């Protein structure tokens, strides 16, 4: 997964100050300080998180926006250099309002006014408080201007995205991709990237500017930083058993099932790899869909080929529900008989789901509504033959093995 932004050293990439630096009164250093670039570089472990996706195809890069919140004020003298942040005048009131919403554990406002605490962005840098900085970055009081694609470069080898912001200084960088959540399809899996949190980061500095990191690089792969959420879903399949009567009670081969996306069985389903979802029961009667890569959702199975000598009226029509478990895997949730009235041919027991075929309507199990309806009809026609009906029911159960 790709890292997000929480630690002060990341939020301020070039602005994680050492004690005493960037105070209202500049301190001195043993060498000069200089703003040496106008770029901000985002480095990650998975470049695909920086891309937009349409299924398996990348459609480009995420859209980033940038807003300058402070200028660098550098003072160099005979004994060295120093750095001070000066909040941009145009957005100063909005930034002060945003900072005024940051409170301590007792609910007290931490930043009151420029008269009391000095320059707002310089004050925030000097707090060196991860929580305060993260709270401000989440709601900074400014909006960014979209960065032109011409000002964004990608280094596939270094796994970096570099943004040219044109001027040195401290910036808010926003992921303004719409939609922010992007999903990459690999066939066997889907990977959902939730996008990047707001970043408060400065352009590169050189010399001794009294900051802990002057490279202008935000390391989004560091395990010490908070991660932006991404999740991988592993597509999956399922299986059930097909049985018949008499010698086929433990397994019936040759039954073909085709999967559809609608309950009218008009649109055949292809899995994540583009393979039509069709399975035929083999030895032991197993109808195996485990090799297919299905998403979570509802599917419809139709028995499109009934084994020889079996009654076509017992062909299965089943509703399949697939869901994602806690491990991110797509698994079978349930199978339901779509027959109206229910046939009683689908059972779910210790060995999982089992679907029965019969050779005639008279072999329908009496546990199903259809079987009960037939029994009722026979009872009406044969009021005097109750013994025959009971014997027929017992014979049917023996043949079906239920």
> 24-38, 154-168, 268-282 — which is least confidently predicted?
24-38
Tell me which of 69 and 19 has the higher pLDDT.
69
Give me the residues paired with residue 184 across strands.
Answer: 191
Q: What is the pLDDT of residues 192-208, one digit of tens each?
A: 999 999 999 999 998 87
Q: In the structure, what pLDDT confidence band is assigned to residue 42 with cuts at 50, 70 and 90?
A: very high
> 124-128, 198-202, 280-284 — which is least confidently predicted?
124-128
Using CA atoms, how far apart are residues 381 and 391, in angstroms rounded to an integer? 16
The model's pTM: 0.76
Q: Which helix (H) or strand (E) covers residue 161, if one does?
A: strand 160-164
E runs forming strands in 9-87: 33-35, 39-43, 51-54, 57-61, 64-77, 80-87
Using CA atoms, how far apart are residues 58 and 102, in angstroms rounded to an integer? 39
Contact of 255 with 287, CB cutoff 8 Å: yes
């Amino acid at each position: 997964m790709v890292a997000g932004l929480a630690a002060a050293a990341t939020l301020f990439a070039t602005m994680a100050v050492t004690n005493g630096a960037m105070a209202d009164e500049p301190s001195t250093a043993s060498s000069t300080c200089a703003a040496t670039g106008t770029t901000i570089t985002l480095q990650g472990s998975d470049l695909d998180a920086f891309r937009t996706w349409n299924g398996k195809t990348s459609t480009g890069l995420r859209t980033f926006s940038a807003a300058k919140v402070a200028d660098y004020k550098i003072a160099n003298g005979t004994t060295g250099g120093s750095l001070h942040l000066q909040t941009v005048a145009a957005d100063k009131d909005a930034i002060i309002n945003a900072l005024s919403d940051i409170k301590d554990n007792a609910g007290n406002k931490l930043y009151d006014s420029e008269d009391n605490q000095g320059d707002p962005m310089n004050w925030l840098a000097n707090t060196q408080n991860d929580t305060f900085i993260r709270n401000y970055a989440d709601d900074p009081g400014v909006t960014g201007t979209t960065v032109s694609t011409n000002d964004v470069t990608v280094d596939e080898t270094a796994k970096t995205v570099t943004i040219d912001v044109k001027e040195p200084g401290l910036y808010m960088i926003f992921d303004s991709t719409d939609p922010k959540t992007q999903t990459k399809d690999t066939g066997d899996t889907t990977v959902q990237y939730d996008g990047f949190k707001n970043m408060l980061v400065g352009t590169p500095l050189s010399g001794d500017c009294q900051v802990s990191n002057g490279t202008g690089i935000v390391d989004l792969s560091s395990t010490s930083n908070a991660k932006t959420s991404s999740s991988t879903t592993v597509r999956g399949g399922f299986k059930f058993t097909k049985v018949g009567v008499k010698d086929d009670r433990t397994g019936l081969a040759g039954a073909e099932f085709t999967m559809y996306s609608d309950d009218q069985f008009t649109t055949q389903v292809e899995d994540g790899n583009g393979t039509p979802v069709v399975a035929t029961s083999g030895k032991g009667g197993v109808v195996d869909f485990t090799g297919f890569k299905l998403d979570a959702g509802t599917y419809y199975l139709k028995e499109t080929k009934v084994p020889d000598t079996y009654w076509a009226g017992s062909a299965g029509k089943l509703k399949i529900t697939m869901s994602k478990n806690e491990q991110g895997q797509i698994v079978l949730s349930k199978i339901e008989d779509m027959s109206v009235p229910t046939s009683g041919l689908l059972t779910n027991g210790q060995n999982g789901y089992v679907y029965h075929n019969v050779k005639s309507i008279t072999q329908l199990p009496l546990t199903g509504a259809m079987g009960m309806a037939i029994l009722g009809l026979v009872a009406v026609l044969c009021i005097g033959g109750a013994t025959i009906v009971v014997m027929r029911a017992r014979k049917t159960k023996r043949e079906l093995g239920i």
